[in-house]
Amino acid sequence: LSETERVCSSVNVGSTKTGINMDAVRLMGEVVKETAELTAHRQCIGAAKLVVFCNAPEDNPFMAGAFHGPGEPDCVINVGVSGPGVVRAAIAKAGKECDLTQIADIIKKTAFKITRMGQLVGSEASARLGVPFGIVDLSLAPTPAVGDSVAHILEEIGLESCGACGTTAALAMLNDAVKKGGVMASSNVGGLSGAFIPVSEDAGMVQAVETGSLTIEKLEAMTAVCSVGLDMIVIPGDTTAEVIAGIIADEAAIGMINSKTTAVRVIPAIGKKEGEKLEFGGLLGGGPVMKVNRSSPGSMISRGGRIPAPIQSLNN
């Protein structure tokens, strides 16, 4: 990762069926820190190309967590679609008089149109290349471009700032409506299929972090109801490997218990402190160094072993 331009990597440390491998979690805390250190002269870009998963899907088309899973054909086309700006524009056009039932319906109809386009492009590419068409991933993926932000959709729904009380509820509604609309538009839906919340790749998220409205703890709560997890979060360079492992363990636990995909892609900003910035450029964007709880989970992490898989029949 430190020596290449395009290579990305992901590691799956747990699942709902097997539990969480805490030895792997401890190791990945060290690997994330080491990867950032090896690319410190390049804005610690190595850590931005490394994802730690729980319940990793094998047909995900979105980098850095995309890989060709063992259940996939020899060659297949999986399509990812992005269109937060379109969803925000549709909500804005509807006006302030709509209640949340109507807003959910607007998001659903817009997601149908976006996904239909992905289905058309995928089908045509499949026919021209003579390669089977796999899935359409319904995920709303933001970019650093103005107007292409998931945070701004949440604010259009009625939040003063992303991270305010009510953010998790608004995001849950958005995520569910995107899935409901998208499923009707494609015969094969897969991948992650939800709303992404990568901080450095979303101009609205960056703004919310800078104003103090959005914290890493609030982001963790948001990951319980949306796609993926703690994504593209810049943390202080002196954050210990044990704390990073603790972040990974927390996120993996949310995924394991809720039978959903969760992931961690944090970037230790070597030599930088809270409030300073990293700039990656391109689709990865850039963002401020966020505050992280310094209390050490070291003793727990060093125990190693496995957190057992959860019981499925008693699900409160």
d(CA 266, CA 234): 6
pTM of the predicted protein model: 0.92
Q: Which residues pair with 269 in a beta bridge?
A: 236
d(CA 278, CA 36): 12
Strands 14-15 and 19-21: antiparallel
In a domain, 141, yes or no: yes
| CA angle 44–53–162, rounded 5-degree value | 70
Q: Which residues pair with 293 in a beta bridge?
A: none
Domain of residue 180, CATH code: 3.20.70.20
DSSP letter for each residue of 208-235: HHHTT---HHHHHHHHTTSSS-EEEEEE
In a domain, 205, yes or no: yes
Count structural domains, the chain.
1
In a domain, 306, yes or no: no
User: Cα Rg for the chain, rounded, in angstroms?
Assistant: 19
In a domain, 308, yes or no: no
CB 171 within 8 A of CB 226: yes
| CA angle 8–139–113, rounded 5-degree value | 135
In a domain, 92, yes or no: yes
**For residue 218, what are its two tokens?**
């609030």
The residues, ordered by sequence, that sit 6+ positions from 219 with a Cβ below 8 Å of its Cβ are: 197, 199, 230, 233
d(CA 149, CA 36): 26
In a domain, 314, yes or no: no
The residues, ordered by sequence, that sit 6+ positions from 186 with a Cβ below 8 Å of its Cβ are: 115, 116, 118, 119, 135, 136, 138
b/e code 113-141 from CB counts within 10 Å (16+ = b): ebbbebbeebbeebeeeeeebbbbbbbbb
Which pLDDT does position 68 carry in this prediction?
86
DSSP letter for each residue of 40-71: GGGTTGGGGGEEEEES--TT--STTS----TT
In a domain, 313, yes or no: no
In a domain, 162, yes or no: yes
Strands 133-137 and 9-12: unpaired
**For residue 179, what are its two tokens?**
């899935």
d(CA 80, CA 66): 11
For residue 126, give the nearest of 193, 176, 73 by alpha carbon: 73
CB 85 within 8 A of CB 148: yes
The alpha carbon dihedral of 192, 193, 196, 201 has a sign of positive
Q: What is the pLDDT along the chain (316 residues), one digit of tens a residue?
A: 899 888 999 999 999 999 999 999 999 999 999 999 999 999 899 999 999 999 998 888 888 888 888 888 889 999 888 788 899 999 999 988 899 999 999 999 999 998 888 889 889 999 999 999 988 888 888 888 888 899 999 999 999 999 999 999 999 999 999 999 888 888 888 888 878 888 998 899 999 999 999 999 999 999 999 888 899 999 999 999 999 999 999 999 999 999 999 999 999 999 999 988 888 888 888 899 999 999 999 999 999 999 999 998 887 7
Q: What is the domain extent for residue 80? A: 9-294
